[in-house]
Amino acid sequence: MHNAVCSEIIKFRRNKMAWVGTLIIATIPLFMIWNRLVIDPQREYMEWLMSVLMLNTLILPIVNGFVITSNMQREYQDRTIRNVLTAPVSREKFLTAKLVVWFLWYLISFCLSEVIVIAGCYILFPVEFTTRNMRYALSLFTQNNFFSFIVGIPILLICVKQQALFYPSMLATLGSAVLQAAGLQVSEELILPACICPWTAVSISGMVGWGTQYWRICTITITVCGIIGFIGALVSFKRQDQ
Amino acid sequence: MHVRKGRIYGLLGRNGAGKTTIIGSTIESPSFYSNLTATENLLIFSRLRGKVNENKICDALGVVGLPYQDKKIFSKYSLGMKQRLAIANAIKNDPELLILDEPTNGLDPIGIAEMRMLIRRLSHECGKTILISSHQLSEMEQMVDWIGIIHEGRMLEECSYQQLEENRHSYIRLIVKEPEQVYEYLKKTLSIENIKRPEASVIEIYDLKYGTLELNSRLFAAGFAVAEISKCQNSLEDYFKELTGGAGIA
């Protein structure tokens, strides 16, 4: 497993899409800091924070989907998958290593983004820059980003199925991002169905309180979605005969 | 199939004869990560095999004449370099047997010559047993020690290259002004049995009871004008056609 992960790290290091993705993710809070400083200096702390979160909710899943699509599609396009499938490495390990390194990249990117958000809070809102507020902001962003990654795992299944193509997973990525952003606008009457849909549940989980019934439903839905996505990708990859 | 240790075995057959199906491995189109260097590619595939030894990667690249830790990425490589990298990938774990499917496919003449030299070196200097499949007869002739001829999924013949040379027929080729009369003269007067006429003015004599010098003297003495006389040998392609019942190489 260690060797499979190391191989993936070598590939990710040279994956331009991953570098561009990290840059885009870091640019969101930077853009919002610039926006508050130059265009809208009157914007309140909470309003600013929610704007960053909304942009994050929309852009992060798109970048995330594009990165895994480029990583998987390259295996089929360059036909390196043939060398992989004939190597004495289990397909489970290969795909798990991909998931692990993909998550590591995602973790680094969103941590960088969160550091910039906190720095932005420090620069823009020195009065509101309290431990309590920062803890809330960090937990909100971390939960949202983490859940967003989990509901993005089914993209891996699409990537395995589509092989050298890329547009099915791109479309699914865009769809997933739109649903996640739509989750922020859900009315109170529709909150239960929105909790059951894993992609809208990501946004709902940030709006309802921790440990509430809705939060639990969201967490279960999101977890099930991630598990099904990964198991589906594994089964599909195991059945593949390139 | 009988592949002898330390030898180069050539599997010969037309397109679709079943060569790739038999050996089940290929470097016909080398597959590597186009955005990575040769060293990085070999490192990845070594890791996937669970054996990471950078010295072996360096040695393998050295054997095929590619630089170690070079910054050039795979997509910038020529086809010849790609094929050599595929061989480096195959030999990096020091296997005893190398299976190469159409290793010279798509290469230019210089690339083919380099690949041939590399394969010979791998066999003669590194002691590798090599199984090559190809439909390029001329290439096989210059490379292999043993040969297997396959047609429609069946092995038709398997022998050493030396035996193959012996099996190939020698004949005398004549170009004459009066082919009809010469043909009759050879048959009736000189009692030569195995004669063919592939073209109007060409006669091929497979019954070699007379040498070229003596035959020329007799024809001259009989008053025939001989434009050309030479001793020839069937090419591997002719032999291949004979074996496969007329199906030429693709």
The CATH number covering residue B222 comes to 3.30.70
Q: What is the pLDDT of residues B181-192, one digit of tens each?
A: 899 888 888 888
Judge whether B242 lies within some domain: no
User: Which chain B residue shows the shortest CA-CA distance from A91?
Assistant: B48
Q: How many CB pairs under 8 A join A and B?
A: 54
pLDDT band at B250 (very low <50, low <70, confident <90, very high): very low
Same domain for B150 and B30, yes or no, is: yes
DSSP notation for A17-52: HHHHHHHHHHHHHHHHHHIIIII-TT--HHHHHHHH
Which of A6, A74, A88 shows the shortest C-beta gap to B33? A74
Split into its structural domains, chain B has a count of: 2
Asked if A79 lies within 8 A of B48 by C-beta distance, the reply is: no
Judge whether B65 lies within some domain: yes
Which of A16, A80, A94 shows the shortest C-beta gap to B33? A80
Same domain for B33 and B145, yes or no, is: yes
Beta bridge partners, B231, equal B172
Q: β-strands B97-101, B8-12: how paired?
A: unpaired
Which ipTM score applies to this complex? 0.73
Asked if B49 lies within 8 A of A88 by C-beta distance, the reply is: yes
Question: What's residue A87's pLDDT?
Answer: 66
Angle among Cα B123, B26, A163 to the nearest 5 degrees reads 150
Reported for A133-142, long-range contacts at CB under 8 A and 24+ positions apart, including other chains, are: A133/A45, A137/A49, A138/A114, A139/A210, A140/A49, A140/A53, A140/A206, A141/A53, A141/A56, A141/A110, A141/A113, A141/A114, A141/A117, A142/A110, A142/A114
Same domain for B161 and B66, yes or no, is: yes
- Provide the 8-state DSSP code for B189: I
Same domain for B21 and B142, yes or no, is: yes
Average pLDDT, rounded, for chain B = 79
Asked if B47 lies within 8 A of A15 by C-beta distance, the reply is: no
Q: Show residues of chain A in contact with B44, CB under 8 Å.
A: 7, 10-11
Q: Show residues of chain A in contact with B32, CB under 8 Å.
A: 78, 80, 83
Judge whether B175 lies within some domain: yes
Token digits for B231?
A: 């001793």
User: Phi and psi at residue B246, in whole multiples of 5°?
Assistant: 100, -10
Q: What is the pLDDT of residues B194-230, one digit of tens each?
A: 888 888 888 988 888 888 888 889 888 988 888 999 8
pLDDT band at A210 (very low <50, low <70, confident <90, very high): confident
Same domain for B23 and B114, yes or no, is: yes
Which of A6, A16, A74 shows the shortest C-beta gap to B47? A6
Beta bridge partners, B101, equal B133
Nearest to A96 by CA among A181, A3, A182: A3
Which of the pair, B184 or B239, is modelled with greater confidence? Answer: B184
CATH number at residue B87: 3.40.50.300
Residues A106 and A104: their CA atoms lie apart, in Å, by 5
Q: Are A80 and A104 in contact (CB under 8 A)?
A: no
For chain A, give the number of residues. 242
Same domain for B174 and B155, yes or no, is: no
Q: What is the pLDDT of residues A195-204, one digit of tens each?
A: 888 989 888 8
Same domain for B159 and B42, yes or no, is: yes
Which of the pair, A170 or B103, is modelled with greater confidence? Answer: A170
**Which residue range(s) make up the domain with B32?**
8-165
Residues A110 and B85: their CA atoms lie apart, in Å, by 38
Q: Show residues of chain A in contact with B33, CB under 8 Å.
A: 11, 14, 74, 78, 80
Using the Cβ of B76 and the Cβ atoms of chain A, whether some distance falls under 8 Å is answered with no
Q: What is the pLDDT of residues A142-158, one digit of tens each?
A: 988 899 999 989 999 99
